[in-house]
Amino acid sequence: MLSRSLLLVPATLALFLADDAFAGRPERARAPLVRPAAAPDVDAKGRLDLRSHKAGQDRFSVRAMQVDTALTYEAFLEDSAGSLTFTSIGFLTPSLDDPEAAALKFDQKTGPLPFDVPAVADLAGLELRVQSGGQVYLRGLVPDFPAQGNRRGGAWTRERAALDPTDPPQDEDAKGRVEVRRKASHSRDRFVVKAQKVPAATVVFSVFLDDGLGVMTEVGQMTPSADDPEEAMFKVDTKSGAPLPFEVFSMDDLAGRALEVRGDDGFTYLTGEVPVLNPR
């Protein structure tokens, strides 16, 4: 019996050390910075990066990319979630390696975090804006750390819903789908609407969404396929700096809203709704 107990010790110790090693890994989170609807720079994009390892070693960084670094950029952080009042937390410094990038970084090893919070997680849910000359170039929400952990946070979660012809149909063959994707660790959303078997070569199609008050509002034109004259697509990926419809920060805010695909010929071809993106 004694020998069996001794044999179990190395295995138990190995499991303990493995768990302890994983517990010591830093938590990481990232979120895109996107342009406002009336963007002063249509190419700008950016991101927020958070890292939390142990007490006193948290990091918070803001990075703007594809911007004119001859301008001076300043980061403003919301005083409290939803308050829409902002306080400057510093100026972005042009990158030495990228002539179109600028960044601002906080590291508890060398100084306090914004608002002198004890942990970077305390900033989650606050809006951040990058401004120059009084204009907002980029905006985003400080993310939470992925609930499922970093090992699975990098995977995409996806939901799809069919789009159906109107009743009576404008085009009996028309079909389509709406797809929502999220990468939790990067707070990155992707919104895609696809129409098929429609006269995309002769009709310009647009996506209309319920604005939240029951008014169907155009949120963007669909791009005809280069390979199929009967196919068109609308796509937003927040990693590119493009804002989601109505400038919401998450596709969760659009879930369940009515959606229509309309042509510039005055007809509605497809109808449906934005699916709910359920976390895995």
pLDDT tens by residue, 23-71: 467 889 999 999 999 999 999 999 999 999 876 689 999 999 999 999 9
Tell me the CB-side half-sphere exposure of residue 131, using CA atoms within 13 A: 15
Centroid of chain to Cα 118: 26
pLDDT tens by residue, 149-177: 444 456 789 999 999 999 998 889 999 99
Q: What is the pTM of this model?
A: 0.84
Which amino acid is present at 278? N
Instruction: Give per-residue burial for 225-260: e unless 16+ CB within 10 Å, then b.
Output: beeeebbbbbebbbeebbbbbeeebebeebeebebb
Domains in the chain with CATH codes: 26-141 (2.60.40), 153-273 (2.60.40)
